[in-house]
Structure 1
Amino acid sequence: MEDPMGFADDHLIPLVDAGLGNSAYLVDLGDGRALAVDASRDLRALREAAERRGLTVAFAADTHLHADFLTGALQLAADDGATVLASTAGHRAFPHSALADGDETDLGGLTLRALATPGHTDEHLSFLLLDGARELGVFTGGSLIVGSAARTDLLGAARAEELARAQYRSLRRLAELPDATAVWPTHGAGSFCSAPPGAERTTTIGAQKQTNALLAAPDEDTFVRDLLNSLGSYPAYFDHLAETNRRGPAILDAAPSLPTLSAAAVRELIGQGAQIVDVRPFPDFAAGHIPGAVSIPLRDQFATWLGWLLPDDTPIVFVTAPSQDLAELTWQALKIGYERLTGHLTMDAWTIDDGEQETIELLTADRIGDRPVLDVRQQAERAAGHIPDSIGIELGELAAHADQAPSGAVVHCGHGERAMTAASLLRRAGRHRLAVLTGGPDDWAKATGHALKAGA
């Protein structure tokens, strides 16, 4: 068969979820069948790729119990008759081919060999794709990733070091593969599983030996220290989604829809405890929104912030703009297990029915003056450069620390979306006289001529 890179070009289709920073893979097995690896519950892109090639998914492999999205393997089993391949150590509560270290699956001309690579999770497997005795590539999931290794604290801080030591051994095992072996990770840039920024999502063993600082660590203790020191915060929903994947997400019988609601129905739902999530662009939210609504603009990162900031057991009503893609909105919620989606309405429907509105002030960087500034970016972003004397509280932590936000604050992030989300959360907590910066710290530096401050 072809050389590894030729195989990837002809038979391997990466499917990138830019919002979660992950890649799934569809492998054309050459006989009308396909292997899917780490497929999300949102199977739209995978379905399109399979249909273009006339493929039926015969195998659906999961490298680990995912914390950041619901697996699509069960849906593929239900719809296509796919055999689910997963670690026996994961104790999944649904039918699957349970694999231990060294177990092989005949794909029909190619072979998939399970390699135990614990660290990111206890039961983590990598899948080595073989053509006879030749290593074509390895699906590394959350073990070896481009430029790093995935985080080891998802099972609790008390186990982070133990799992980091397991991750060290797993990476050393993978590094023993031939240099030309392709590396196909699941987690990539944009993932909260410790993937560094960068455009590359696939690599080779040889390239990682040359460029991956963790792989080059001189000893286990150095590796553990460097990996643990790199860990930032992660979305709250990560703490329970792996267990949902172990039990198995519900099978969807049809494409989901999002009903249109009247203003009267929305008022009734609010009275019953429903949460209003406004997904319009943040300037629209600023100009007028339903009191108590949380602003989470619909974009690639929507699912991350929905799962970070709101519980999954509360009914949700969405406020949408007329041009927004309701299917995209629904799938982003469903892929992280948010299923209590009651419907949507537009602000026009709300205001025509005399619905009350609130506004939030937008400011450009040259108009901040001496107002206090609240920075809601991630710690790593803030350390790279922030407005002097600003207060830093990550957006994911803000609801629990709203009392620390300065009165009359100008809230900022990098562009405005997260800042508006933060302002909406602060409004819900009873804070007023807020404004949102339409830009980020670089805009402030340009407007004022002052330098940003590096560090915490």
Structure 2
Amino acid sequence: MVTPAQVQLHAVVDEGLGNSSYLLDLGDGSALVVDPPRDLRAVLARARAEGLRIRFAADTHLHADFLTGAVQLAHDEQATVLASAAGARRFPHRGLRDGDEVDLGGLGLTALATPGHTDEHLSFLISDGARPVGVFTGGSLIVGSAARPDLLGPDRTDELARAQFASLRRLAALPGPTAVWPTHGAGSFCSAPPGAQRTSTVAHELATNPLLAVGEEQRFVDALLGSLGSYPAYFRRLGEINRRGPAVLDTASVGALAPLSAPEVRRLCAGGATLVDVRPVADYAAAHVPGALSLALRPQFATWLGWVAPPDGAVVVVRNPDQDPADIVWPALNIGVERIEGELAGGLDAWTAAGYGTVGIRVLRPDHLDGEAVHVLDVRQSAEYTAGHLPAAHHVELGTLADRAAELALGPTAAMCGHGERAATAASLLERAGHRDLAVVTGGPQDWADTTGRALVTGPDADPGPPAQDPAARGGGKAHP
């Protein structure tokens, strides 16, 4: 991480959401935390390890991809919340405007208006006396790119892209050695495609960031918008929740899952709850509750939960005994999934002991596909698909599959992604929509190419995707436990 020697800065990276929070040691036993998530476990653990009390919590913008932890820190740590006055937040905070300064004790913070990712976006310049040290750029200048300007809707996108052009140039005018500490980075759906590094310097970005090399506004707008892919549907809800302020949690009680009997789970699911199976793909494929949504517990769990599960619906969990409930509940709360009713007590064994049936799904290695009479459904993001896919593959992004599954006429289908987790989610969505004869491919297109010696197809398809069919012709309906 790029950190000037005289500044003690600790990055806390969320690999799943692709974000960094920062803990800045203020030299007196206290700290400033920038863009803390609602799931504060890692931030607080790092603060305790460093012997720091969090005195300030600063949000660069109204986040769309996670709920802020600033409200919780104000409650639990009596931290002062610093945020844009233009954000009209409805909870106690110190509203900052362009040029406002905050004395952190030895270091100074200056608010810089840098709209573009959002319209109230601030960057926070940290100075030692008159000398700039580093700048928390949030969702403005990021390593190798800039954060996306389309989260406030298509009617605002062009305006915000032009604001991002001006904001990046304002930040690029800072002294070259100034460290750049973005919030969004590799893996974040808030970002245009960034590099692997999460921090940088102004000088390095001027030398390497292609968007800073574009001096004409319209060309910048075209380049930025041309790099954008899809983003999770829950992004459209969280900004307003962050404006109001997430509810303060009783953190001592968060992390447990209420035990539910198999009949209780069956009743809840019949009433519309989503049964989320967080077990590894192999376990889900071997046997699962009919209609369960497969979302293997991994760093990206929360993103896909928020993307494919019904918004604001109740959730019931199926897990293995070695999977920590806190690692399910906290990520869900982090992206605004509040209605977690509990878990199937005793897991799948309890389900079968109650006399309820299970179903399985075939698992195929990539090199087995050539001997199978199946359609390959590639559910990766469009940029991944165009970079290389199987010659006969159909393409539907996983994030759109829930809305399209009932209308797709696929026949025997093998779902494929890069490793298998998204493919299992896709297969579970298809099963919930009534499809049968499904398989999950445990590996991606490159594995297929490596083992078969055949070439992948690159570029977009002329094929618009799997055909639609009258649901009545397919047979079956939505599966329920």
TM-score (norm 1): 0.97
The answer on 1:381 being equivalent to 2:380 is no
Paired letter, 2:329:
T
Shift of 1:405: 5.0
Shift of 1:196: 2.5
Shift of 1:194: 2.2
Residue number among 20, 24, 41 corresponding to 2:21 in the alignment: 24
Residues 103-158 of structure 1, C-alpha deviations (whole Å, 9 max, x = no match): 01111111110000000000000000011101010000000000000000000122
Residue number among 127, 131, 134 corresponding to 1:134 in the alignment: 131
Residue number among 199, 210, 213 corresponding to 1:213 in the alignment: 210
* Unmatched segments (≥5 aa) in structure 1: none
Distance 1:59 1:312 in 2: 32
Q: Which residue does the alignment assign to 1:354?
A: 355
Distance 2:49 2:442 in 1: 42
Distance 1:94 1:377 in 2: 39
Alignment of 1:118-197 (within 5 A): 118-197=115-194
Shift of 1:199: 2.8
Distance 2:361 2:28 in 1: 58
Distance 1:51 1:65 in 2: 27
Distance 1:145 1:203 in 2: 8
Distance 1:271 1:380 in 2: 37
The answer on 1:450 being equivalent to 2:463 is no
Residue number among 86, 105, 108 corresponding to 2:83 in the alignment: 86
Shift of 1:354: 1.7
Q: Which residue does the alignment assign to 1:310?
A: 309
Paired letter, 1:54:
G
Tell me, yes or no, if the aligned pair for 1:372 and 1:408 is still in contact at 8 Å.
Answer: yes
Residue number among 401, 412, 415 corresponding to 1:398 in the alignment: 401
Residues 249-292 of structure 1, C-alpha deviations (whole Å, 9 max, x = no match): 00012331212222122122223221100000011111111111
Q: Which residue does the alignment assign to 1:332?
A: 331
Residues 224-252 of structure 1, C-alpha deviations (whole Å, 9 max, x = no match): 00000001000010001000000000001
Distance 1:371 1:51 in 2: 53
**Secondary structure of residue in 1 paired with 2:212:** coil
- Runs of 4+ more than 6 Å apart: none
Shift of 1:195: 4.2
Q: Which residue does the alignment assign to 1:363?
A: 364
Residues 281-339 of structure 1, C-alpha deviations (whole Å, 9 max, x = no match): 01111111111110000000000000001134211110001111111111110101111
Aligned pair count?
Answer: 452
Shift of 1:98: 0.5
Q: Which residue does the alignment assign to 1:266?
A: 265
Tell me, yes or no, if the aligned pair for 2:388 and 2:445 is still in contact at 8 Å.
Answer: yes
My pick for the range that moved more, 298-307 or 367-376, is: 367-376
**Secondary structure of residue in 2 paired with 1:215:** helix
Alignment of 1:20-59 (within 5 A): 20-59=17-56
**Secondary structure of residue in 2 paired with 1:228:** helix
Residue number among 223, 234, 240 corresponding to 2:237 in the alignment: 240
Identity of aligned residues (%): 62
Residue number among 396, 411, 414 corresponding to 1:410 in the alignment: 414
Distance 2:183 2:422 in 1: 26
**Secondary structure of residue in 1 paired with 2:211:** coil
Residues 379-398 of structure 1, C-alpha deviations (whole Å, 9 max, x = no match): 00001100012111000011
TM-score (norm 2): 0.92
Paired letter, 1:427:
E
Distance 2:73 2:281 in 1: 36
Tell me, yes or no, if the aligned pair for 2:142 and 2:194 is still in contact at 8 Å.
Answer: no
Distance 2:401 2:6 in 1: 47
The answer on 1:422 being equivalent to 2:426 is yes
Q: Which residue does the alignment assign to 1:294?
A: 293
Paired letter, 1:327:
A
Q: Which residue does the alignment assign to 2:474?
A: none
**Secondary structure of residue in 1 paired with 2:329:** helix
Paired letter, 2:204:
A
Distance 1:199 1:326 in 2: 31
Shift of 1:4: 5.7
Paired letter, 2:400:
E
Residues 3-22 of structure 1, C-alpha deviations (whole Å, 9 max, x = no match): 962034xx100000000000
Distance 1:339 1:40 in 2: 15
Q: Which residue does the alignment assign to 1:438?
A: 442
**Secondary structure of residue in 1 paired with 2:6:** helix
Q: Quickly say closer, same or farther: Cα 1:386–1:405, change in 2 above 3 A.
A: farther
Distance 1:130 1:442 in 2: 47
Paired letter, 1:263:
A
Distance 1:218 1:167 in 2: 13
**Secondary structure of residue in 2 paired with 1:7:** coil
Paired letter, 1:367:
H
Superposed CA RMSD: 1.3
Alignment of 1:275-290 (within 5 A): 275-290=274-289
Distance 1:56 1:366 in 2: 54
**Secondary structure of residue in 2 paired with 1:331:** helix
Paired letter, 1:285:
Y
The answer on 1:67 being equivalent to 2:70 is no
Paired letter, 2:118:
T
Distance 2:409 2:428 in 1: 13
